[in-house]
Structure 1
Amino acid sequence: MHLRGTQRINAAGELEIGGISAVALAQKFGTPLYVVDEALFRENCRRYREAFGPDNRVVYAGKALLCTAICRLVEEEGLYLDVSSGGELYTALAAGFPPGRIYFHGNNKAPDEIRQGLEAGVGRFVVDNLYELTLLDRLAGDAGRRQEILLRLTPGIEAHTHQYIRTGQIDSKFGLPIATGQALAGIRQALESPNLKLVGLHCHIGSQIFDLEPFREAARVMLGFAGEVREATGWVIEELDLGGGLGIYYVSGDDPPAIEAYAAAILETVREAVRERGLPLPRVVVEPGRSIAGPAGITLYTVGGVKEIPGVRLYVMVDGGMNDNIRPALYQARYEAALANRMREEPATPVTVAGKCCESGDILIHNVHLPYPVPGDILAVPATGAYNYAMSMNYNRLPRPAMVLVGDGRAEVIVARESFADLTRNDRIPERLWK
């Protein structure tokens, strides 16, 4: 297993995170357990902020991992925050996050969500389509507010990643395509909207991307379009938001660029592009989520049954599964793993880690090499900080795991473990069914 952040192997041969044994964490808080390495989360935030400099903005993508404590970390590290639903916005506001530092995303914002954002005073709405432009203009007028917006475009960039997490191509539910003329129509409508102020353009080409060239090309296309818009309308771009998408290490063979290399590539390309087109230098905005939260997270499980089918496969059953990590089933995502209580033992055999949900597809990891597991072992799966808790669910009426923040020998619960009572809290039985 690739160790990162504060992860190390202690004298007892156990995995340690933030100065605490993973075995001790499992014993105290139970499993499955999401663990967040506070020092690594903060370090990733700082590296982004320093790499892009004070004249640009780093906006943490809340969809990757969001709870009130995470919002506090993001604010303390000087980042902005993007939200993509009323629930994410509510979480940010409950944490006291400054609304003026919030970017509100979403391809189908409901009227109530838009009102919620307007009443809170969010700094930017990232408008996804012409319907939203009309709706936001009307609701902003009702609220007596002139709202600053970015217009989300699709630049036609095909990023090399899973088809479900590509978003920059023309055929996407997100944004207004440049190539079809719809983006320019959106610009004109925004400029004619009395209650909206268009300050910039947004795009996002996909997620878990290792190649820097698509990011460079997205910047070139967006600024080329900005030059055409200036000629057609006189509007001059102030803010260029290139979204997120930088990949992280999950398994051997993954070779993601450093945050600093990513920033340098984007900033250099933007400077070149505006110089070629005679545009003023816009503020550059990026929206990292996975590359901040992903490496900082690790999930702990307890091994239960071990089932060997001679000549076929060795199944290792754990007390979680697709309910706390849907990504392998959804994206064919791959992970490494280790036995946190036996870190110094050499891997002996390939195993398939199976979850406890009643689905044949509930397989967390295929063919990972481990020491021969036995019931009671603690399985650690790294790089699970992004999109694991965020996508968790109650399939089979399994309670969602707790999450703890660890650092400097301290472990604190930031999301409580759900109870069985939580599962029925919103259930209702009509009176007639009691008879």
Structure 2
Amino acid sequence: MSRFAHPAGDRHADLLPEERPPLLPADLNALNPEIWPRTACRVDGALTVGGVDVRDLAKEYGTPLYVIDEEDFRSRCADYRSAFSDSDVYYAGKAFLCRETARWIDQEGLGLDVCSGGELAVALSVGFPPERIAMHGNNKSVAELRKAIEVGVGRIVIDSFEEIARLGYLVDEINGSVPGARDRGTGTRRPKVLIRVTTGVEAHTHEFIATAHDDQKFGFSLSSGAAAEAVRRVLAMPQLELVGLHSHIGSQITDTAGFEVAAQRVASLLVQIRDEHGVVLPELDLGGGYGIPYVEGDDTLDVKILAENLREIVARACKGADLPIPRLTVEPGRGIAGLAGITLYEVGTVKDVEGLRTYISVDGGMSDNIRTALYGAEYTCRLASRVSDAGPMLSRLVGKHCESGDMIVRDLWLPADIVPGDLLAVAGTGAYCRSLANNYNYLPKPAVVAVRDGRSRVIIRRETEEDLLRGQL
């Protein structure tokens, strides 16, 4: 049954499928282990994560509160490292990055994908090995590129013709080859680079997170010949070492069909490079974008099967093109962080609207989770501070911001006895919620707390009003 199904005789039966309420859960208190953190359970009715009662977390740290299950996060790192043991795994820092998670990623033996000078600074601040860092971005600044070269990041993914020229100049400057350049004392630098190729494969996802069709800002188009020209320009520059190609087809992907087509198209470019330049590139980065289940009925990805499928896809593409198999790189972000995190809220108001649904207002909203407003993301929410035997109530979980679109969960069933002061937990918020957090209406960003083995600790403190005012004249 579709998750948009509704009980027979329901007053919503005449609505279009997309307007109907979600599937009524069999148990409003249940925690689906495919959606909630691996250590999540109920103890004496209350939700616990990492062995810590959420009521204690709310009392000690306040709400809204991001809670990260450290064991879950680390175990998913280990899952990817094991499944891709003969490949390279770079955690996509944009999903969620702070100094503590950078330490976890390092300790679990993964590389790190950064997209800005700020993300690079976070990694370097905890001594993350720069040779295990890849630098992405469609408009990297001169300062960002200079820093990446100087610290010796392992890979730079080139995204534009301008960037090729900038890199060449900066390498010369840093190595003292530009007249008047100051010797920076960093030794001879020759960064390893990959060309980001836009393959024309569209992931079955939202327009804003599909990244491989031609009409968008990332990469070099394969069909137009721009990718082949980028290869020519890089190979003509002795300052740069071209080691491979990069392809990313989108986000929240739950099958490998798109990767099959993308790999075949990238392989055709590898053949062209071999035939035109006599160069066989040793690396292929297929990006990330692996999806997670947010609500009942969502598909799940088995990491072992994913790894097997991707290896087979690349092997088939290379065999058909008479190419040696390059070393594979993948970039999971959401697949590691997403299900490790929940967000904890306190109910402020409960408002029934014309008998259609009840609006549950909490103390956060689009400042701590803009994904619902941005591209219609869906979530699972549960009453967290207790269990309830009350009947189901069709609800809309909304924030406190001055926007009608300030919704955290558009439609969901909650117990009909929800009252102000109750704690609600939203699952699957470990990726992109804190990264996209903002200060709309001057709300301070919530704290992030890591939990493990019955203990909790702050890894990002809650912002204060003084933080909001700092910098203003």
Q: TM-score, normalised by structure 1?
A: 0.96
CA contact (8 A) 2:47 2:53 kept: yes
Structure 1: which 4+ aligned runs deviate by more than 3 Å? 343-347
CA contact (8 A) 1:153 1:177 kept: yes
Q: Is 1:314 matched up with 2:344?
A: no
Asked if 1 retains the 8 angstrom alpha-carbon contact of 2:105 and 2:111, the reply is yes
Deviation at 1:90, TM superposition (A): 0.6
Match runs of 1:236-315 below 5 Å: 236-315=280-359
Aligned to 1:106: 137
Aligned to 1:396: 441
Q: How is 1:346-361 mapped onto 2 (pairs within 5 angstroms)?
A: 348-361=392-405
What secondary structure, in the 3-state scheme, does the structure 1 residue paired with 2:291 have?
Answer: coil
Alpha-carbon distance between aligned partners in 1 of 2:391 and 2:312, rounded to the nearest angstrom: 44
| Paired amino acid for 2:297 | G
- Whole-Å Cα distance in 2 between the matches of residues 23 and 217 of structure 1? 48
Map of 1:28 onto structure 2 = 60
- Structure 2 CA distance, aligned partners of 1:303 and 1:267? 47
- Encode CA deviations 1:124-180: one digit per residue, 9 max, x unaligned: 110101110111111011112211101101011011000100001111200001110
The Cα shift of 1:347 comes to 5.2
The 5-angstrom pairing of residues 18-417 of structure 1 reads 18-53=50-85, 55-144=86-175, 145-343=189-387, 345=389, 348-372=392-416, 373-417=418-462
Give the distance between the partners of 2:196 and 2:389, measured in 1 at CA: 51
Q: Is the 8 A contact 1:246 1:256 kept in 2?
A: no
1:210 CA displacement: 1.4
CA distance in 1: counterparts of 2:303 and 2:389, whole angstroms: 33
Tell me, what secondary structure is at the counterpart of 2:195?
strand
Are residues 347 and 231 of structure 1, via their aligned partners in 2, closer, same or farther at CA, if it must alter by over 3 Å?
Answer: farther
2 CA distance for matches of 1:216 and 1:401? 40
Cα displacement string for residues 247-281 of structure 1 (whole angstroms, at most 9, x for unaligned residues): 10001120122111111110011122222222122
Amino acid at match of 2:222: I
Work out which of the residue numbers 5, 8, 32 in structure 2 matches 1:2.
32
Corresponding residue of 2:13? none
* Whole-angstrom distance in 1 between the partners of 2:304 and 2:171: 38
Unaligned 5+ residue runs, structure 1? 429-435
Q: Which residue identity does 1:357 align to in structure 2?
A: H
Distance 1:126 1:345 in 2: 54
Q: 2-side partners of 1:177 and 1:83: how far apart?
A: 22
| Aligned 8 A contact 2:388 2:415 in 1 | no
Once structures 1 and 2 are overlaid, which stretch shifts more, 320-329 or 222-231?
222-231
Q: Any idea what the Cα deviations from partners look like across 1:280-317, whole Å, max 9, x if unmatched? A: 22110000001100000000000001111232321111
* Paired residues, number: 426
Does the CA-based 8 Å contact 2:39-2:69 persist in structure 1? yes
Structure 2 partner of 1:431:
none
Runs of 5+ consecutive residues of structure 2 not aligned to the other structure: 1-30, 176-188
Let me know the Cα RMSD of the aligned residues.
1.1
Distance 1:229 1:25 in 2: 56
Q: Supply the distance in 1 between the matched residues of 2:75 and 2:171 (Cα, whole angstroms).
A: 38
CA–CA distance in structure 2, aligned partners of residues 344 and 365 of structure 1: 20
SS of alignment partner, residue 295 of structure 1: helix
> 1:101-143 CA deviation, whole Å, 9 max, x = no partner?
1000000001011111112211111010111011111101111
Query: Structure 1: how far apart are the matches of 2:171 and 2:329?
Result: 24
Corresponding residue SS for 2:63: coil
Distance in 2 between the 1:167 and 1:90 partners? 26
Contact 1:347 1:369 in 2 (8 A): no
Alpha-carbon distance in 1 for matches of 2:293, 2:391: 20
Shift of 1:345: 3.6
AA aligned opposite 2:144: E
Which residue identity is paired with 1:388? C
Partner amino acid for 2:415? P
Report sequence identity in percent: 49
